[in-house]
Structure 1
Amino acid sequence: MRRRTRVVVGAVAVLCAAVSVGLVMLVVVRDLNTAGQAAGIVGSVASLAAFVLALYALYQPPATPAPGTGEGAGAASATGPRSVTVSGSVGRAVTGDNNRLSGAAPDPHVPPGQSRSGGHDGAPVPETPGTPRAGERAVSAGGDIGEVVTGDGNTLA
């Protein structure tokens, strides 16, 4: 948790404890009827505050991760027959038929300072997450891609 969040949560906890102690004191000093009415008002105010907080959280933009961390790194768009579009990161995307794959998909996240080589010629993959792709079997991801298999009848061990 961030420092600001811890402070806010702590302040709310202290406020709730103070309200609870105040309601118990109201029962002791006055009567149960008065304390019940006060508790109803406090509960209504607290529920309205929770409603406003929920609306505030609902309309906040999503958090943007650090560059290169994948999830939400860019808006993905792939068009064409048999294309794949992933909003976050993906370990393996397969667009062909009759492919034989074994083993787990690679980790889609590349450690900082390293580049992933791709393709049969080993050329580096462009570092442009979310770049729109077009064509048959196009693959686009908003984050990182571990491995892409296109074509038919591939065997990967």
Structure 2
Amino acid sequence: MCIAVAAVSAAAVVGLILVGVLVDLDTADRVASIIGAMISAISLVGFVYTLSRPTGVAVAGARSVQAGDSIGRAVTGDNNRQRGIAAQPQPSAAGPGPSTTMAPGVPGERAVAAGGSIGEAITGDGNQQT
């Protein structure tokens, strides 16, 4: 993928240089503006697609927490007090990055779901941790 993007970019640069040398700079300026607008539109579509795809985990319920990767600490209760650093989640066996498979939904209020590991989940009320 990266090689294809680099090849297309190199071809565009060479093409703009040839237009600038063989035709004139005004035409090269117009062509560069059109190419820039096309790249912007394609990038916008790619970003919208990336942001709208599913994360791989699903939760259903009020005050639930979900993440496509790992969670260090998730607190869903009321009047909780934590001190210190959150537990670090263990690296997942599949390696870094979000899960690509859909996990079954986690039902209920204050549910916690992650595509990776969960270091600490505090779901009750009035917990004090030192």
Interval of TM-score (by shorter of Structure 1 and Structure 2): 0.5 to 0.7
Query: What is the distance in 1 between the residues matched to 2:52 and 2:123?
Result: 32
Provide the identity percentage: 27
Query: What is the distance in 1 between the residues matched to 2:112 and 2:71?
Result: 10
Which residue is 1:6 aligned to? 3
Contact 1:90–1:146 under 8 Å retained in 2: yes
Which residue is 1:86 aligned to? 66
Instruction: Return the offset for 1:23.
Output: 0.8
Residue 74 (str. 1) matches residue 57 (str. 2)? yes
Structure 1 unaligned residues grouped into runs of 5+? 27-34, 65-70, 114-127
TM-score of the two chains, using structure 2 as the length reference: 0.63
Query: What is the distance in 1 between the residues matched to 2:45 and 2:79?
Result: 49
Residue 134 (str. 1) matches residue 108 (str. 2)? yes
Contact 2:75–2:123 under 8 Å retained in 1: yes
Which residue is 2:13 aligned to? 16
Which residue is 1:54 aligned to? 43
TM-score of the two chains, using structure 1 as the length reference: 0.55
Query: What is the distance in 2 between the residues matched to 1:59 and 1:95?
Result: 29
Query: What is the distance in 2 between the residues matched to 1:48 and 1:13?
Result: 17
Contact 1:84–1:93 under 8 Å retained in 2: no
Contact 2:57–2:66 under 8 Å retained in 1: no
Residue 145 (str. 1) matches residue 126 (str. 2)? no
Which residue is 1:43 aligned to? 32
Amino acid at match of 1:20: I
Judged with a 3 Å threshold, the aligned counterparts in structure 2 of structure 1 residues 99 and 11 are, in CA distance, closer, same or farther, namely closer
Which has the larger Rg? Answer: 1
Contact 1:133–1:140 under 8 Å retained in 2: no
Instruction: Return the offset for 1:134.
Output: 1.3
Instruction: Return the offset for 1:108.
Output: 3.2
